[in-house]
A = this chain, B = another copy of it.
Amino acid sequence: MTQLTRLPQWQALQAERNGLSNFHLRAAFAADPARYARFVRTLVAGDARVLLDFSKHRIEARTLDLLLELAHARSLRTRIDAMFAGERINTTEQRAVLHVALRDLSSRPLQVDGIDIKPAVAAVRDRMLDLAERVREGRWTGHTGAKITDVVNLGIGGSDLGPQMMTVALAPYHDGPRVHFVSNVDPEHLRTTLVPLEPASTLFVVASKTFTTIETMTNARAARRWLVNALGTEAATERHFVAVSTNAKDVAAFGIAPANMFEFWDWVGGRYSLWSSIGLPIALAIGRTRFLQLLAGAHAMDEHFRTADFGQNLPVLLGLLGLWYVNFWGAASHSIAPYSQHLARFAAHLQQVDMESNGKRVNLEGDVLEHETGPVIWGEPGTNGQHAYFQLLQQGPALIPVDFIVAAESPFADDAQHRILVANCFAQSATLAIGKTAAEARAEMTAAGKSAQEAQRLAPHREFPGNRPSSTILVRRFDPFTLGLLTALYEHKVFVQGAIWGINSFDQWGVELGKQIATKLAGALGDAKAPVDAASAGIVGAWREMRSQK
């Protein structure tokens, strides 16, 4: 594949960016009353809406055309079709990438290696949702016959962040047992989570594709000890543990019945797995019907992504706009600002989806890239962020694009207060774009009674440069269907960027080396005579010494 930076479409974008050196959003809005209308797209799916306002970006109509030409030049359509067709686009692991199959509730066949995978997907989903309903209705009970009141998901990475984000996001829809998430190998995570729980009414979900993940299995064994100690028999394990895994042998050896293991497949990447059996904690919290709505929402985004013209295609637009700043304006990070407290974990989930996918330095052919790839993804819910780090977004030297995500209405809470939330969201994007000139700052201060000299001194500190880009994503409400739409939107955004950069967004070799070294070091911490690598010897010695000083 040609190095991306040598493509004429890339070079045209470089020229475009240079031509926009004096572009300012304040002037752009003043000059063109139709700017918003030019740069807004809406996806309608039943009652749900996803509106993308990208008028507050450093683009003109021509810029958008050039970005779309780059997408075509990189055969994005072919890449999308290859994913949906089940081709082995994860070329370093020789795997298909088919999380989209998990949310296609139709019976339309999908072949992998000549076998239709859809019946197996439906069968496991039915078994998983059936378990969820039995627990929710009290038909599945603990060893003593007690109803399950608390579920603890034991998993890490994709087996934690996705289901946790979604469970938290859908808090207003919870009508099942309380659901807790323990991920960290830090023993304090499990210990403090279990303190208020009753063993007799607690169900553990052990979520690990291989059933060997060190964090998850260490916590699972500790949880089993806690349970067995309390209930007095190993036999209790079977009523208090289920597994989401593909390792039937080790699952059985742990004490979990085969009927209570829910499998998934090698074409489901961890960070895209909340739609599979990994979503069991979500289903336990919100129930079968709403879980299916969640899948249906994601599927609606899949169909949009697969079929809509790129100029109307929300994931394509979001991906191109992100790339525009990473590659042509030097943006190293991208901030996610959901104006919803329930979306508190949305950025943490996207950190994995985006950074694990596109944090790559070689292309599919193994050549080291001549350009940047995935940015750092970070953010906290608004309005909280406004009182913390928005200072830097508004007045720091760096360009950091922001995605504002907000719902038009709040079905469960006070509408007047929700309007204040929405007003703050819109105000931040306007402020970032328009700014405040030093002259305006001076005039405000003198009007408020400050001396001309003092106003002059303070004006540079109270000036806002503006011209800072953001997208606003407006939905009707954050219900299960819409959360499916939104989450799939970002999955596909990441796909778009990876396809254009020519990287493999679906492997994660960068996590392997740390595991190897950790295993060696864990041995060395337990045995003072074990060899330690040169970079670790000093700190390992310090650790040992600190523990011996009492």
Q: CA–CA, A476 to B543, complex, Å?
A: 9
Does B474 contact A543, Cβ atoms closer than 8 Å? Answer: yes
Known: A160-B384, A186-B339, A192-B171. A393 touches B359 (CB 8 A): yes
Does B383 contact A526, Cβ atoms closer than 8 Å? Answer: no
Of B192, B459, B511, which one neighbours A386 at CB under 8 angstroms?
B511
**From residue 488 to 541 of chain A, which have CB atoms closer than 8 A to chain B?**
504, 507-515, 517-522, 524-526, 533-540
B contact residues around A171 at 8 Å (CB): 188, 192
Considering the complex, give the chain B residue whose CB is closest to the CB of A434. Answer: B535
Of B36, B371, B423, which one neighbours A522 at CB under 8 angstroms?
B423
Does A355 contact B542, Cβ atoms closer than 8 Å? Answer: no
Does B394 contact A374, Cβ atoms closer than 8 Å? Answer: no
Does A461 contact B387, Cβ atoms closer than 8 Å? Answer: no
Q: CA–CA, A489 to B489, complex, Å?
A: 40
Does A355 contact B392, Cβ atoms closer than 8 Å? Answer: yes
The answer to the question of A253 belonging to the interface, with a C-beta cut-off of 8 Å to chain B, is: no
Of B37, B271, B421, which one neighbours A538 at CB under 8 angstroms?
B37
The answer to the question of A184 belonging to the interface, with a C-beta cut-off of 8 Å to chain B, is: yes
Considering the complex, give the chain B residue whose CB is closest to the CB of A348. Answer: B380
The answer to the question of A439 belonging to the interface, with a C-beta cut-off of 8 Å to chain B, is: no
Does A378 contact B381, Cβ atoms closer than 8 Å? Answer: no
Considering the complex, give the chain B residue whose CB is closest to the CB of A518. Answer: B427
Choose among A33, A53, A514 the residue with the greatest number of B CB atoms under 10 Å from its CB: A514
B contact residues around A540 at 8 Å (CB): 426
The answer to the question of A88 belonging to the interface, with a C-beta cut-off of 8 Å to chain B, is: no
Of B355, B430, B533, which one neighbours A430 at CB under 8 angstroms?
B533
Does B396 contact A360, Cβ atoms closer than 8 Å? Answer: yes
**From residue 219 to 253 of chain A, which have CB atoms closer than 8 A to chain B?**
222
Known: A352-B389, A383-B215, A522-B420. A535 touches B359 (CB 8 A): no
Does B535 contact A56, Cβ atoms closer than 8 Å? Answer: yes
What mask results when residues 383 to 425 of chain A are scored 1 for a CB within 8 Å of chain B, else 0?
A: 1101111111111111010000000111011101111111110
Q: CA–CA, A368 to B460, complex, Å?
A: 8
B contact residues around A416 at 8 Å (CB): 526
What mask results when residues 317 to 332 of chain A are scored 1 for a CB within 8 Å of chain B, else 0?
A: 0000000000000001
Q: CA–CA, A342 to B188, complex, Å?
A: 8
B contact residues around A36 at 8 Å (CB): 537-539
Q: Is chain A's interface secondary structure helix, strand, loop, or mixed overall?
A: helix
Q: Count A-side interface residues using an 8 Å CB cutoff.
A: 153
Q: CA–CA, A533 to B369, complex, Å?
A: 43
Does A419 contact B526, Cβ atoms closer than 8 Å? Answer: yes
Q: CA–CA, A185 to B266, complex, Å?
A: 43
Considering the complex, give the chain B residue whose CB is closest to the CB of A381. Answer: B184
What mask results when residues 341 to 379 of chain A are scored 1 for a CB within 8 Å of chain B, else 0?
A: 110000010011001101111100011110111101110
Considering the complex, give the chain B residue whose CB is closest to the CB of A397. Answer: B361
Known: A408-B546, A419-B522, A426-B539. A413 touches B355 (CB 8 A): no
Known: A187-B410, A419-B522. A511 touches B348 (CB 8 A): no
What mask results when residues 13 to 52 of chain A are scored 1 for a CB within 8 Å of chain B, else 0?
A: 0000000000001100110010111001000000001010
Q: CA–CA, A341 to B214, complex, Å?
A: 16
Within the complex, the shortest CB–CB distance from A99 to chain B, in Å, comes to 17
B contact residues around A260 at 8 Å (CB): none
The answer to the question of A108 belonging to the interface, with a C-beta cut-off of 8 Å to chain B, is: no
Of B92, B185, B504, which one neighbours A424 at CB under 8 angstroms?
B185
Does A542 contact B424, Cβ atoms closer than 8 Å? Answer: no
Known: A376-B400, A388-B356, A546-B474. A419 touches B525 (CB 8 A): yes
Known: A189-B341, A333-B333. A542 touches B510 (CB 8 A): no
Within the complex, the shortest CB–CB distance from A149 to chain B, in Å, comes to 13
The answer to the question of A63 belonging to the interface, with a C-beta cut-off of 8 Å to chain B, is: no
Q: CA–CA, A421 to B189, complex, Å?
A: 11
The answer to the question of A480 belonging to the interface, with a C-beta cut-off of 8 Å to chain B, is: no
Does A514 contact B381, Cβ atoms closer than 8 Å? Answer: no
Of B51, B420, B462, B536, which one neighbours A185 at CB under 8 angstroms?
B420
A-B contacts, 17 of them at CB < 8 A, read A29-B534, A156-B387, A186-B342, A186-B383, A186-B413, A215-B383, A355-B392, A356-B388, A359-B391, A359-B393, A362-B463, A394-B510, A394-B513, A419-B525, A431-B514, A461-B504, A464-B513
**Given A390-B514, A396-B510, A462-B512, 10 additional A-B pairs, CB 8 A:** A55-B538, A187-B413, A188-B410, A359-B396, A360-B391, A367-B460, A373-B396, A394-B514, A416-B526, A419-B522
**3 pairs of A and B residues whose beta carbons are closest in the complex:** A359-B392, A36-B538, A157-B387
